[in-house]
Amino acid sequence: MTRALFVIDVQNDFTEGGALGVDGGAAVAAGVTAYLRAHPDEYDVVFASRDWHHGDDDNGGHFATTAPPDFVDTWPRHCVAGEPGADYHPALDTTLVDVHIRKGQGKPAYSIFEGTTDAGGTTTEALDELAVTDVDVVGIATDYCVRASALDAIAAGRHVRVLTDLVAGVAPDSSAAALEELAAAGAELVTTGGS
């Protein structure tokens, strides 16, 4: 068994004070770092994804430009490549990350599986190369990119656990619904305490 951790979109624009900041985002960043430091042998590989959008176009309709954002399909400008909002939150220790994934480069992208590695490969290729069988998922936002990434990991044949004390969502109701959907799809919902 080879176990990976997916750290989803722990970026400045998705934490408090960012363009699409969620409550608890900074705590997730610090919590992931503390968890990895306390359990250095828990994972064979750590992946981290980031939204990495273009700054000079609407990214395939992802950025609202002609009407207010609907916060479903269109969003305010966020996580533009090279800008501070796209950086990992400073409380996330990126020295603990082995594989960096950039997603949304010119198009809408929610799942880590829609991104590419620094070398240009896909997430699936990286998982296969490393023979990853089990994936734990943490990060932001529970009801969007965490949900999409976990569902795609299940679809890709991996055993998936969502560490529910290391995720933060946009809204309580949609986050609860996302976790219910993930459990129904076969994900285990656990805390870092194991329950």
Instruction: Return phi, psi of residue 48, to 5°.
Output: -135, 130
- Examine the residue annotation and report whether 9 is marked as an active-site residue of this protein: yes
41: annotated active-site residue: no
Q: What are phi and psi of 165, to 5 degrees?
A: -90, 0
Which residue of the set 13, 51, 136, 145 is catalytic?
145
Q: What does the H/E/C string look like for the chain? A: CCEEEEEECCEHHHCCCCCCCCCCHHHHHHHHHHHHHHCCCCCCEEEEEEECECCCCCCCCCECCCCCCCCCCCECCCCECCCHHHCECCCCCHHHCCEEEEECCCCCCCCHHHCEECCCCEHHHHHHHCCCCEEEEEEECHHHHHHHHHHHHHHCCCEEEEEEEEEECCCHHHHHHHHHHHHHHCCEEECCCCC
Task: Please confirm whether the linkage preceding 109 is cis (ω < 30° from 0).
Answer: no
User: Is residue 79 flagged as an active site residue?
Assistant: no
Residue of 13, 103, 136, 152 marked catalytic: 103
* Residues 88/133, Cβ–Cβ less than 8 Å: no
Residues that are catalytic: 9, 103, 145
